Every structure is written in structure tokens, then in C-alpha cells.
């Protein structure tokens, strides 16, 4: 296997400014790059989510139902509390049959964001 130095996911956004604000201000991911077409946030070292301003490209937007961003956490209770305080959208808490506690919400484009940790 060849060595992978980082992982990047690019999301095409119609509501670009709102998406930047959501990932930066609500989820707390620092913006590490921004050139008015693409902004990148970094949820963890060497992991980046690119937010592409679709109005400045020739791409079609992918339907939001086809993408889920999933983040494994050590403390799901803390994340749930913080998101309920900061978030204007619904934050849902679930217990999955595959052995995880899950907190779900949607970004301004309707994409599912999932935070999870293993049940004790």
C-alpha cells in the first residue's frame, strides 16, 4: 500500500457562506484554507473537508442524501451537550443496533453529520 499523508473530502455547496459558518462556528472545525472558491476545515490532524462554492464551478451538486460525514468521538455526551447549545437545527440522539451512541444533525445543505462512540 502506498502511504497516505492526509484525507480530504470535498462537498459542493450552494449555500457556501452558511456551510463555512456551520462547520467553523457550530462544529468548531478551524478553517485552514480559503480562496473564495474553496474553503477547507480541519476536524482532525491531516483530515480536511473542502467546501466548494458551486456557483463558481461548472459542477452539478450532489444530492445531500447521498453523503454522510461520520466522526468517531471519545465523549458523545459532551458533543451532544455542546451541539444542543450551539445549533439552531435539530440535534438527534440515537442508540444504534451496531453498538454505538449516535448524535445526528444536518448542515445547511441538508447533508447528514453523524458523531458516534461505542457503547460502554
Q: 7-118 adopts what CATH topology?
A: 2,3-Dihydroxybiphenyl 1,2-Dioxygenase; domain 1 (3.10.180)
| Res. 2 pLDDT band, cuts 50 70 90 | low
Domain layout of the chain by residue ranges: 7-118
* Residue 72 reports pLDDT greater than 90: no
| Res. 97 pLDDT band, cuts 50 70 90 | confident
User: First CA to last CA across the chain, in angstroms?
Assistant: 34
| Res. 56 pLDDT band, cuts 50 70 90 | confident
What is the average pLDDT across 59-85?
Answer: 83
Amino acid at each position: 500500500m502506498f502511504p497516505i499523508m492526509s484525507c480530504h473530502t470535498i462537498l459542493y455547496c450552494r449555500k457556501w457562506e452558511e456551510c463555512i459558518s456551520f462547520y467553523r462556528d457550530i462544529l468548531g472545525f478551524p478553517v485552514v484554507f480559503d480562496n473564495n472558491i474553496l474553503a477547507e476545515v480541519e476536524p482532525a490532524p491531516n483530515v480536511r473537508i473542502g467546501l466548494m462554492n458551486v456557483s463558481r464551478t461548472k459542477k452539478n451538486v450532489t444530492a445531500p442524501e447521498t453523503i454522510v460525514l461520520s466522526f468517531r468521538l471519545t465523549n458523545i455526551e459532551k458533543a451532544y451537550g455542546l451541539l444542543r447549545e450551539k445549533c439552531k437545527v435539530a440535534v438527534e440522539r440515537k442508540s444504534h443496533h451496531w453498538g454505538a451512541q449516535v448524535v445526528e444533525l444536518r448542515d445547511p445543505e441538508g447533508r447528514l453529520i453523524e458523531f458516534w462512540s461505542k457503547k460502554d
